[in-house]
Amino acid sequence: MARVCPVCGRSSSEVPFVGGLCRDCYIREVGVARLPGRIHFVYCQYCGAYRYQGGWNRGLDTVEDTLVEYAHMVLSRRLRPTRDVEEAWVEDVRLERPFHGPGIYRLLVTVAGRSREGVGLTQELVVEAKVDAAVCPACTARITERGYEAIVQVRGSGGRLSDRLRGEVLDFIGGLDGRLREAIIKIDEVREGVDLYVLDHTSARMIAGKLRAAFMGRTIDTYKLVGRRPDGKRRGRLTISVRIPDIEPGQVLLVGGREALYLGRSRRGGLFVDMRSGTHFELDAETLWERGFRPHPGGAPERRVMLLSRSGGTYVFLDADTGYQRVLEYPGEYVHVYTGRLVEGGLYRAFLAGRRLYIIGTVEETGY
């Protein structure tokens, strides 16, 4: 038997019903869902972060986008379906007028749902948004250069960071993901290296960990009590020292007392060649620091050699450092090449270790 809507008089044969009303009258008289009449949105006027549930969160590309996303999140959490609606959700939120800063805005909210009988429902509601601007703790700390809870000190293995490593470290810091980069409130380039002043301990440990992994470093933590918070809890300042090996590809080192040629970073840590045996080996950062390393005493035994000929598996070089007067002849299995293809007449940087010759690069020089 057809039902009749008591409000408009239409029957269930003409339009779907929700409870005792036709769909249109149910939406108009009862509604799909209940929403709060007003929400409060606070954003940082410097970085665009927004406050939510007592904390600050990174915003989207624009404050307007952040406001819309925030409204969608808050309204979805506070939405309540009406009596004959099985489920409901926020389908869309948009501003009635363009965003121009703090003030009162009208949000046009599209709510959708499904009745207990499976009838689809859609309704547009209006919610006010009170928008205020503030300064988040991170920006306050950056502006005042106070409020940091940790310092990450980056130094070289010899105590002082070389100019080459300093540049690499600064480039690496600039490429950190947004959250970690924003946690750094100040970067100090001091004589010994780079000091990073970080908002919180967690971010500092993550930054130090990334530096350690990227540069085969070693970290040492120290903790100092500096006072108490307003809630009475102790307030400590964490200092993390990150030591980075001041070595570069092509350098000869003593690693655990043995001569080793450093080839560069690998996925595991560092790639080396034992210069006496010609064996390649990898060391992770922890093992490298445990074994100990230092530059070859008296400087690396580097020479310049010119390839004179290669025939029958034998290489013949001239020693450029003796005015091309000394001939160096090596079987192929004792010549280790870590540069491009060798060509006759080419001048190369090389290391001599026992019966082995290591070619590590070219020398930009022409003529004899």
Comparing CA positions, the residue from 293, 281, 217, 286 lying closest to residue 255 is 293
Residue ranges of domains in the chain: 31-135, 138-244, 251-289, 302-362
Q: What is the DSSP letter of 327?
A: E
Beta strands 150-156 and 234-244: pairing type? parallel
pLDDT value at position 230? Answer: 60
Task: Determine the Cα–Cα distance for residues 116 and 84; give it in Å rounded to an integer.
Answer: 6
62 φ/ψ sector (left φ>0, alpha ψ -120 to 50, else beta): beta
The residue type of 86 is: E
Look at the pTM and tell me if it is higher than 0.85.
no
pLDDT value at position 231? Answer: 60
- 40: how many CB neighbours lie within 10 A of its CB? 13
Task: Determine the Cα–Cα distance for residues 280 and 143; give it in Å rounded to an integer.
Answer: 50
Segment-wise mean pLDDT, segments of 10 residues, the chain, 368 residues? 89 92 95 96 93 89 95 96 95 94 96 94 96 90 80 90 92 89 89 92 94 92 72 74 89 87 82 84 90 75 86 90 89 86 89 81 60
Superfamily of domain 302-362: Nucleic acid-binding proteins (2.40.50.140)
Q: Helix 201-215 and helix 163-174: axis angle, to 10°?
A: 130
